[in-house]
Amino acid sequence: MKIDLLSFFFGVILTLAVVIVVEQFYGVIWGNRKLRQLKKEVMRLRGVLRKKDELIKKSLKSIQEMEKRDEQETRTN
21/44 Cα distance (integer angstroms): 27
- pTM score: 0.52
Concatenated DSSP letters of 35-67: HHHHHHHHHHHHHHHHHHHHHHHHHHHHHHHHH
pLDDT higher than 70, residue 77: no
pLDDT in tens, 11-46: 999 999 998 888 777 766 666 777 788 889 999 999
User: What is the Cα 46 distance to its own chain's centre?
Assistant: 7
Domain map (residue ranges) of the chain: 2-76
Q: Using alpha carbons only, how large is the chain's radius of gyration in Å?
A: 29
77/60 Cα distance (integer angstroms): 26
